Structure 1
Amino acid sequence: MRTTEETEGLDGEASNTSMISGASSPYQPTTEPVHSRTVFGGLRCDLEYLKSYFGILKVVEVVLSLIGLICIETIMLCSPCGAVYFFEFVSCSAFVVTGVLLLIFTLSFHTKVPHVNWNLTDLVNTAASTFFFALSSLVLACVNHNTSAEIAAVVFGFLVTAVYGVNTFLAIRKWRLGNGGQRAPQSTDYIRARTASRGEMETRPELA
């Protein structure tokens, strides 16, 4: 039979072993906040992007473009119809393209295709949408029949133009900072390489 001292010693060794295994175990609970969730196809839903300025602006742009498209689609009679068709094309294109970019950034699909300059792509889309929404809204404001649908389309057209304008300003600033950030590491690495090579030359013993 085991004595009391032997039993206590075994219990102490077991507790120490469990503490060591628990400390070294990789499956430790964490209190870090979850910023993304994995969805189908290995893509991640970036919740932080939806909370950022770009995510919020894109959601507003998609909603306002859809409302403008719905307003212009309710117009049954028009003569001439050029302004109506132009506004319809712009609002539909902006809704589709901006919605696709919103999904790409939200699902982190841009990380799967790194060879595409997504900052520049977003900048081109927002700048083009700002210009064409402003132009189509101005044309529709000048050529309309003062119906409620046309007036509502013009109002939402100018609203989404302002939102796209803010997004364009932020996209330009982000694109400039991104280009500067890409050039800085290259120059820093080059300076470090030259410094390291000079250090090797200085520490290398002279040949007799």
Structure 2
Amino acid sequence: MAEEVYGSTTAPNPKSSWIRGPSEPLEKVRCGVKGCQVLLSFVAFVLEEAVHSCVRCSALYFFEFVSCSSFLFTLLLLVLLYSFLRDRVGVTCWPKVDFGYSSVVFLFFLTSSIVFVSSSNTALERSAAAFGFLASLAFLVDVVLFWKSSGFPFLKDGKPTPSNGGVAADGAPETAKLNEPE
């Protein structure tokens, strides 16, 4: 009986996929750039870990921290942005998180690579720093692509917010009178 009543009006839920792939072409490019960021920061970290002795170890440790944390956090961000977990985390400002994270990591990676290459003595250290520079370039490319496609995410629609007594955001004058006679 229940099958006759509900059978024609209900449809089974389609299986949801774990991965929500990028839909737009530029989003696919940015997903690829994020994959390159993960790969390059991982290679920089592995090459840095292969260094056995150092002259200025503080530069090595700083580069190690930046390369390892950028690898792990970029991988986490990649998983969150392109999976169903994006909706379950509860973050509503993903563009701000993505843009801010990529900008900050670019600056840290560039700084750590410059400091590390200035104190490097071996070819292994120089190659780790080279991958650090390549990773920082990938983060810069991601920031530029994001900015070109979506603008600066910390501004609200690129329009200035109206102040008290200022012009409305859409530029149209107010048409309703305050004290209209009835």
- TM-score with structure 1 length normalisation? 0.63
Q: 2:143 maps to which residue?
A: 168
Q: 1:129 maps to which residue?
A: 105
Distance 1:136 1:52 in 2: 29
Does residue 77 (structure 1) correspond to residue 53 (structure 2)? The answer is yes
> What is the aligned-residue RMSD (CA, Å)?
3.3
Distance 1:67 1:93 in 2: 13
Tell me by how many angstroms 1:109 deviates.
2.4
Q: 1:152 maps to which residue?
A: 127
Which SS does the other structure have where 1:45 is aligned?
A: coil
Residues 136-147 of structure 1 aligned to structure 2 (within 5 Å): 136-145=112-121, 147=122
Could you list the runs of 5+ residues in structure 2 that have no partner in the other structure? 1-7, 161-168, 177-181
Distance 1:179 1:170 in 2: 19
Q: 1:55 maps to which residue?
A: 31
- TM-score with structure 2 length normalisation? 0.71
Tell me by how many angstroms 1:162 deviates.
0.9
**Structure with the bigger percentage of helix:** 1
TM-aligned CA distance change 1:168 to 1:76, over 3 Å: same
Contact kept? 2:19, 2:82, Cα under 8 Å: yes
Paired letter, 1:89? F
Which SS does the other structure have where 2:157 is aligned?
A: helix
Tell me by how many angstroms 1:182 deviates.
10
Contact kept? 1:119, 1:175, Cα under 8 Å: no
Contact kept? 1:69, 1:88, Cα under 8 Å: yes
Contact kept? 2:102, 2:143, Cα under 8 Å: yes
Residues 1-208 of structure 1 aligned to structure 2 (within 5 Å): 38-39=16-17, 44-48=18-22, 52-145=28-121, 147-173=122-148, 174-176=150-152, 179-180=156-157
Q: Percent identity?
A: 27
Distance 1:81 1:49 in 2: 45
Paired letter, 2:131? F
Distance 1:182 1:114 in 2: 27
TM-aligned CA distance change 1:49 to 1:92, over 3 Å: farther
TM-aligned CA distance change 1:105 to 1:115, over 3 Å: closer
Tell me by how many angstroms 1:141 deviates.
1.2
